[in-house]
Amino acid sequence: MDKLRFILIICVLFVFSSCDLAGGIFKAGMGLGIFLVVAIIGLILWFVMRARRK
């Protein structure tokens, strides 16, 4: 069982380089961050427009 785990870990290390994995994580985080900033700005503008109507 230990040999199987060792072989799987070695295969994963060769298939997925750490740079590609970290790059994918940062790209996903950047996309989520941009989405959240746009959503928050949209909500602020919506509240401002709604307050001006009254």
CA pseudo-torsion sign 31, 32, 35, 41? negative
Q: What are the backbone angles phi and psi of residue 17, rounded to the nearest 5°?
A: -80, 150
pLDDT confidence of residue 41: 96
CA-to-CA distance for 23 and 29, rounded, in angstroms? 10
pLDDT confidence of residue 3: 84
- 46 has a pLDDT exceeding 80: yes
pLDDT confidence of residue 26: 80
For 1-44, how does the pLDDT look when each residue is reduced to its tens digit (9 = 90+)?
A: 688 888 887 877 776 666 766 777 787 788 888 999 999 999 99
pTM across the whole model: 0.54
